[in-house]
Amino acid sequence: MALWGGRFSQGPAQSVATLSRSVDFDWRLAQYDIRVNVAHVHGLAASGVISVADSEKIISALASLSSEIETGKFGFNDSDEDVHSAIERGLIEKLGALGGAFRAGRSRNDLVVTDFKLYLIDHIMEIAQTLTQLIDALNRVADEYKDALAPGFTHLQHAQPINFGHEIAKHSHAFLRDIDRIADWLKRNSFSPLGAGALAGSGLLPHPEKTAAELGFKGPLLNSIDAVSDRDFVAEALFIFSVIGIHLSRIGEEFTIWSTTEFGWAKLDDAFSTGSSIMPQKKNPDIAELARGKSGRLIGNLTGLLTVLKGLPFAYNRDLQEDKEPIFDSIETLQVILPAVIGMIETTSFDREKMARGAVAGHALATEIADYLARKGIPFSDAHEASGKCVRLADSLGVEVHELSDSQIASVHVDLMPDIRSLLSGEGATSSRTSISGTSSASIAAQVRALDEANRAALNAIKESRESFSRMMSI
């Protein structure tokens, strides 16, 4: 149903209707549209534009439309341009002319952005809650492998031994930052555009602060032009989803490498890997690869939207209709990838022996020799030099630096005494790193406790906000 037409001699050409139509994707906003309309009708009744009796009729028709959408009894049809026109058609079907009364004092320009904000608030909180499950899964693995020695890499070369739990726990920190970004997004963006009308504010709805409060916003936006034009909140959300995607892709990359025959660290569960149609022996890390690959589309959605916004005039321009599909796609992408990644993390087992065997390879204990001398007061440049000479000697003998004998080590520097031996093992190297961010088992145990606590606090806050949001949504 068209929401305009009086000044036109004919309806839009078929090609225009097809181009214009957004209902196939913006139908996702239907329940939010109804809720926003209810608040708007309350506002109209309060300012006397419609009678209280009429407002009650409209609200109860909106409420039954809401349940009919829920059960699938009401949906959009071929003539509907967008979700807003479909809902108005539903209302007119129920109430006749009165069904058209509720749109006084608002425009689709302020309506669509208010609906969309509510949709995003709802779904970004859901993503945040799923992230707490992911963090929980990571924390469990980090704790289980807090004393499992493994090589630590820089430049993908063996660098220093670590405990594997440290490698896993680092991801929890990244996802906690994502949750924090979401909390920050909510704080900045919980302001209502409703009441901005087409662009100049509404003469019929003098108290947008009341509708804002009813919809759970902290208040109304203070400039009606900004209210209908601003899509920073969309760009910021897409950025957050892209960063989550990047974090997932880096996990994907690790699990892919770790499950190669060459590494052989990770054994993926049968339920979380896939086979090959031609090579019967294959067990492929497709979830990890899809986690890596899907980050591409998340980033694409962000850059697409930024490109739409660049140079766009104020206030509403139809280009802005392009803001929704990237968000729907990013959210729905995360909704499918996150549960699979959580399952993969929960079910993968790691080969402690294989990881430990590699932990000290590639002269990974050379730093311990330099640190030992530095502790004895030798300037670090000299200590580094001496340790480098030990590596050269070991290389020339075809052994690892920790396999040199006491006398071979002592031949390089007089201060290299046999008591260095206690440091020249994976266990010796990691257990000396007891600082708060270090890789000793004790530090990792404390780190996981702190991560658990932060995650619990985040989950409680998210649950509380989600409960109050769903109370707000019920009409």
Q: What residue ranges bind ligand ARG (CB under 6 A)?
A: 22, 26, 82, 108-109, 112, 316, 318, 320-321
191-192 and 219-220 strand pairing: parallel
Query: How many of the other CB atoms lie within 10 Å of CB of 52?
Result: 11
Q: Closest Cα to residue 294, out of 319, 345, 331?
A: 331
Of the two residues 119 and 255, which places its CB atom closer to ligand ARG in the complex? Answer: 119
Dig out the tokens for 217 from the structure.
């916003």
Q: Closest Cα to residue 471, out of 62, 35, 127?
A: 35
- What residues are paired with 157 via a beta bridge? 154
Of the two residues 205 and 444, which places its CB atom closer to ligand ARG in the complex? Answer: 205
Task: Annotate 290-354 with DSSP letters as a single string.
Answer: HHHHHHHHHHHHHHHHHHHHTTPPSS--GGGGGGHHHHHHHHHHHHHHHHHHHHHHHH-EE-HHH
Provide the minimum distance between the beta carbon of 76 and ligand ARG in the complex, in angstroms, as a whole number.
12
Q: Is the dihedral of CA 42, 44, 46, 48 positive or negative?
A: negative
Query: How many of the other CB atoms lie within 10 Å of CB of 227?
Result: 25
Which residues in 5-125 belong to E strands, given as ranges?
Answer: none
Of the two residues 32 and 316, which places its CB atom closer to ligand ARG in the complex? Answer: 316
Provide the minimum distance between the beta carbon of 83 and ligand ARG in the complex, in angstroms, as a whole number.
8
SS3 50: coil
Of the two residues 33 and 427, which places its CB atom closer to ligand ARG in the complex? Answer: 33
Of the two residues 22 and 330, which places its CB atom closer to ligand ARG in the complex? Answer: 22
Provide the minimum distance between the beta carbon of 227 and ligand ARG in the complex, in angstroms, as a whole number.
13
The helix/strand count (H/E) of the chain reads as: 18, 6
Query: How many of the other CB atoms lie within 10 Å of CB of 187?
Result: 9
> What are residue 365's phi and psi, to 5 degrees?
-100, 10
Of the two residues 308 and 394, which places its CB atom closer to ligand ARG in the complex? Answer: 308
380 class by beta-carbon count within 10 Å (0-12 exposed, 13-18 middle, 19+ buried): exposed
Of the two residues 185 and 316, which places its CB atom closer to ligand ARG in the complex? Answer: 316
Contacts of 194 (CB under 8 A, 6+ apart): 36, 39, 40, 106, 110, 111, 114, 208, 211, 212, 215, 220
Provide the minimum distance between the beta carbon of 28 and ligand ARG in the complex, in angstroms, as a whole number.
12
Query: Contact, 102 vs 33, CB < 8 A?
Result: no
> What are residue 274's phi and psi, to 5 degrees?
-135, 165
Rounded Cα distance, 255 and 171, in Å: 13
The amino acid sitting at 208 is: P
Integer CA distances (angstroms), 24 to 19, 21, 34, 79, 81, in order: 12, 7, 17, 11, 9
Provide the minimum distance between the beta carbon of 198 and ligand ARG in the complex, in angstroms, as a whole number.
7
Query: How many of the other CB atoms lie within 10 Å of CB of 190?
Result: 17
- What residues are paired with 274 via a beta bridge? 284
Of the two residues 26 and 88, which places its CB atom closer to ligand ARG in the complex? Answer: 26
Provide the annotated active-site residues: 155, 276
Of the two residues 112 and 355, which places its CB atom closer to ligand ARG in the complex? Answer: 112
User: Cis (ω within 30 of 0) for the bond into 291?
Assistant: no
Rounded Cα distance, 378 and 153, in Å: 27
Provide the minimum distance between the beta carbon of 196 and ligand ARG in the complex, in angstroms, as a whole number.
12
